[in-house]
Amino acid sequence: MVTDMSKKEINDVIKGVRGLLKELEIKPGEFKEKIRGKYAPHENIIEAFRNVWIETEGFGMARAPFAPRGNTYGLDFLGRDFERGRVILAMEVDSWFATIGSWQKLADIRAPYKIWIYLARDEKARQNFGEAIKEIRTFIKSRDEKREDFGNFTVFMKGPKDIFVEEKIM
């Protein structure tokens, strides 16, 4: 069983993720900049999460919060309870909407919270996001996952201006 957390704990983590994403400002021009081979918004989100994870003690879930820069099993962000402790939050950030590899990595890791963030360049991306949600649900259904084993899976779309959407998958 991945998690036996209370609804309040679940809400605190999702509220923390939501709050951070809403506060982060993404400018359209940032999609032209690259940092370590990734678009600037991608790297900025990862760095912001790393900082907030430590500052908020893993949104109140970690005893000694640790967010490694390396050895994250190919995921963009892992929030651990402590340096060698359990993974509490696993996150992938993508600027392409059909990224089954990211969903596969999230589905394969044992963590009570799994977050996928789709970076949208513009308003047209809402349709792509809707398609991605359908594909994610089909993917998880094909794996015959049960929530008590799988954990909580929430997806967000974040972009410039007021582009922000949240969808609970599992």
Please state the pTM of the whole predicted model: 0.87
Is position 59 within any domain? yes
Is position 1 within any domain? no
55-85 pLDDT, tens digit each: 999 888 888 877 777 668 889 998 888 877 8
Domain that holds residue 42: 7-168
Helices first, then strands: H and E counts in the chain? 6, 7
Is position 87 within any domain? yes
3-class state of residue 166 by DSSP: strand
138-148 pLDDT, tens digit each: 999 999 988 88
3-17 pLDDT, tens digit each: 455 666 667 888 999
Is position 122 within any domain? yes
Is position 2 within any domain? no
Is position 23 within any domain? yes
106 and 153 Cβ atoms separated by less than 8 Å: yes
The packing angle between helices 125-142 and 100-108, to 10°, is: 40
Is position 142 within any domain? yes
Count of the separate structural domains present in the chain:
1
105-149 pLDDT, tens digit each: 999 999 999 999 999 887 778 888 888 999 999 999 999 988 888
Beta-carbon-side half-sphere exposure of residue 29 (alpha carbons within 13 Å): 0
71 and 83 Cβ atoms separated by less than 8 Å: no
Is position 110 within any domain? yes
pLDDT of 32 > 90? The answer is no
